[in-house]
């Protein structure tokens, strides 16, 4: 009997030690606190910060009601790189519950037909990289997007080859084109620490 009691005590202590080790240095139950200091290094050595994203998530949770569609970068990597987990793909939609144009690709593929996934990927790619305003408007209208997020992850938006989707491809011109739409198609409702949230203005046509 005492051997069993001793075994139970050992197991309890072991699990307690694991729990303490996991919490060491965190001292919080806030699962988003890591965004204040966490970083990811891209495959070409750039550092992505998430503090602005964390504040944008807070703003959306506090100010947006209903289920408006949001746009954010899609991250698709080979399994060897960790997939969408590697750079925080769909980090805004999964933290707010708001629907997005395209979530984690493999999760989506497990739940529904994949017939339009590539088209959605191309459209979101165009939204963030194209300098053609009419093309951006088409994407916004197609998916009835109401909020567009532009943070560090969108700024280094990748190529469309299905790989290296955490590598800089120089989409600054595409982001600048979004900024150029402010006052006509878009308004800035949040901007802090490198992350901006645009609200799509109702069409006057």
At residue 159's C-alpha, the angle toward residues 154 and 161, to 5°, is 135
Confirm if 88 and 40 have CB atoms less than 8 A apart. Answer: yes
User: What is the number of residues in the chain?
Assistant: 205
Query: Which residue, among 165, 195, 199, has the nearest Cα to 182 in the 3D structure?
Result: 199
Specify the 3-state DSSP secondary structure of 26. coil
Q: Taking the domains of the chain in order of start, what are their residue ranges?
A: 30-200
Tokens describing residue 51: 């503090």
**What local confidence, expressed as pLDDT, does residue 152 receive?**
86
DSSP assignment of 166-191: TS----HHHHHHHHHTBTTTEEEEEE
**What local confidence, expressed as pLDDT, does residue 106 receive?**
67
**What local confidence, expressed as pLDDT, does residue 43 receive?**
66
**What local confidence, expressed as pLDDT, does residue 112 receive?**
73
Tokens describing residue 5: 């009691």
Query: Which residue, among 197, 178, 89, has the nearest Cα to 137 in the 3D structure?
Result: 178
Those residues whose C-beta lies under 8 Å from the C-beta of residue 171, and which sit 6 or more positions away, are 128, 129, 154, 155, 156, 157
pLDDT per residue as tens, the chain (205 positions)? 655 545 445 444 444 443 333 344 456 778 888 888 888 777 667 778 889 999 999 999 999 999 999 999 876 554 444 445 556 668 899 899 999 998 776 667 777 776 787 788 889 888 998 999 999 999 999 999 999 999 988 887 654 444 444 554 447 889 999 999 999 999 999 999 999 999 999 875 5
Residue range 30-200, CATH number: 3.40.50
Query: Which residue, among 52, 120, 50, has the nearest Cα to 88 in the 3D structure?
Result: 50
**What local confidence, expressed as pLDDT, does residue 31 receive?**
81
| Count of H-run helices and E-run strands, the chain | 8, 6
**pTM of whole model > 0.85?**
no
Confirm if 165 and 75 have CB atoms less than 8 A apart. Answer: yes
């Amino acid at each position: 009997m005492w051997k069993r009691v001793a075994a139970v005590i050992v197991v309890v202590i072991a699990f307690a030690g694991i729990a303490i080790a996991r919490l060491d240095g965190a001292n919080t139950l806030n699962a988003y606190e890591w965004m204040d200091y966490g970083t990811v290094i891209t495959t070409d050595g750039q550092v992505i910060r998430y503090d602005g994203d964390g504040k944008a998530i807070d703003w959306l949770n506090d100010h947006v009601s209903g289920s408006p569609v949001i746009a954010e970068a899609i991250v698709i990597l080979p399994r060897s790189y960790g997939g969408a987990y590697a750079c925080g793909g769909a980090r805004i939609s999964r933290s707010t519950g708001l629907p997005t144009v395209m979530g984690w690709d493999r999760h989506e593929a497990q739940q529904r037909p994949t017939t339009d996934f590539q088209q959605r990927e191309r459209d979101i790619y165009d939204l963030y990289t194209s300098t053609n305003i009419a093309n951006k408007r088409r994407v916004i209208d197609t998916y009835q997007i109401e909020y567009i997020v532009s943070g560090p992850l969108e700024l280094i938006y990748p190529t469309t080859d299905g790989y290296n989707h955490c590598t800089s491809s120089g989409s600054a011109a595409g982001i600048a084109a979004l900024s150029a739409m402010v006052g006509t198609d878009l308004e800035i409702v949040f901007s802090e620490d490198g992350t901006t949230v645009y609200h799509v203005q109702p069409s006057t046509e």
